[in-house]
């Protein structure tokens, strides 16, 4: 075998491998175009979704801390019953006469919150329902390494349970502590504004059961919605505004003690 023969073989080998690569490259170059063609339909749908942007108002002045919302959330969304998995919960803040603040939330408020501080020591006391704030600049979405958590076109932060790898980064990233690791599915879990309800025209379960209308749910882009009325009537604030997360949950009567 001479060097000529080797060269010829090598040339053949290169030719065929380049042809193979070229073929696969061409195929994969075509695939994105397929996606672009699909995107046109998607874009139309997105426009439709663009006139809904879900949000929630929470009225601390009327919340009585009965815990019905936390209970309903667990039932509706099949959240484990153990007292440390909550998509929404109610905290009782008690400011004592000596200036100390006590925050308690036994079992997330389910079964009704009870005051543990004697009356004579209390300066003021109030209930704060908490849930995912559905931030417009969601830190959890930025932290997710695989794109399993995302903001839907109508503004709800959702978790893709089939795609989540359970790394818990989002749980650490959330400044509101609104996420947890679901011990059954082993993926991150959080409030979805009851996405399966709101897309059918119903209210989220927590809003549905609230006896005092302390939670107001609605479309932020609909000028006639109860939520927009609530925002216009009351002076509302968001939690931790300095973090620039732009939450879509608005609190009326928020005290500076609330963290």
Partner 1 sequence: MPKVIFRLFSTFVVFVGVFILIQQYLKPDSFGKYGHYRANAINDAKLIPLQYKGEKECITCHQDIYDLKYSDLHDAVSCESCHIPKILATDACKTNPPKVEGSNEFCGQCHAINAGRLKKGPPQLDFKDHYEKQNCIDCHNSHAPWELKK
Q: Which residues pair with 157 in a beta bridge?
A: 151
Residues 6+ apart with CB under 8 A from 237: 250, 251, 254
SS3 174: coil
Could you say which residues in the range 73-112 bind partner 1, by CB under 8 A?
A: 75-78, 92-94, 111-112
Residue 163: name its binding partner from partner 1, ligand HEC, none (Cβ under 5 to 8 Å by kind). partner 1
**21 is an interface residue for partner 1 by CB under 8 A:** yes
**215 is an interface residue for ligand HEC by CB under 6 A:** no
Could you say which residues in the range 187-246 bind partner 1, by CB under 8 A?
A: 192, 195-197, 199-200, 202, 205, 208-213
Give me the numbers of helices (H) and strands (E) for the chain, helices first please: 7, 11
For the four alpha carbons of 245, 246, 251 and 257, in that order, the dihedral sign comes to positive
For the four alpha carbons of 159, 165, 166 and 170, in that order, the dihedral sign comes to negative
Residue 104: name its binding partner from partner 1, ligand HEC, none (Cβ under 5 to 8 Å by kind). none
121 contacts 227 by C-beta, under 8 angstroms: no
**39 is an interface residue for partner 1 by CB under 8 A:** yes
Residue 179 Cβ vs ligand HEC, minimum distance, rounded to whole Å: 28
Task: Please give the Cα distance from 46 to 201 (Å, whole number).
Answer: 18
The DSSP code sequence of 222-240 is: -TTSHHHHHHHHS-EE-S-
**125 is an interface residue for partner 1 by CB under 8 A:** yes
- Contacts to partner 1 by CB under 8 A: 14, 18, 21, 24-25, 28-29, 31, 35, 38-39, 42, 46, 61-62, 64-68, 71-72, 75-78, 92-94, 111-115, 117, 119, 122, 124-127, 147-153, 158, 160-163, 192, 195-197, 199-200, 202, 205, 208-213
- Contacts to ligand HEC by CB under 6 A: 66, 68, 211-212
């Amino acid at each position: 075998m001479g060097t000529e023969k080797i060269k010829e073989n090598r040339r053949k080998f290169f030719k065929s491998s380049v042809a193979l690569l070229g073929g696969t490259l061409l195929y994969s170059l075509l695939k994105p175009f397929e996606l672009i063609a699909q995107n046109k339909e998607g874009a139309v749908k997105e426009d439709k979704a663009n006139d809904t942007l879900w949000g929630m108002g929470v009225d601390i002045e009327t919340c009585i801390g009965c815990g019905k919302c936390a209970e309903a959330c667990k039932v509706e969304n099949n959240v484990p019953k153990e007292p440390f998995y909550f998509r929404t919960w109610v905290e009782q803040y008690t400011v004592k006469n000596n200036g100390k603040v006590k925050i308690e939330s036994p079992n997330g408020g389910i079964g009704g919150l009870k005051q543990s501080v004697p009356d004579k020591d209390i300066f003021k006391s109030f209930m704060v329902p908490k849930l995912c704030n559905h931030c417009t600049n969601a830190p959890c979405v930025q932290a997710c390494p695989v794109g399993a958590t995302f903001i839907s076109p109508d503004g709800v932060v959702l978790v893709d349970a089939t795609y989540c790898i359970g790394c818990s980064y989002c749980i650490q990233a959330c400044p509101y502590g609104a996420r947890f690791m679901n011990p059954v599915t082993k993926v991150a879990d959080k409030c979805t504004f009851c996405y399966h309800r709101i897309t059918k025209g119903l209210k989220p379960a927590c809003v549905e059961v609230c006896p005092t209308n302390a939670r107001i749910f609605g479309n932020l882009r609909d000028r006639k919605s109860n939520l927009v009325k609530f925002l216009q009537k009351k002076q509302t604030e968001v939690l931790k505004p300095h973090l620039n997360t732009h939450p879509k949950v608005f609190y009326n009567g928020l005290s500076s003690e609330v963290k």
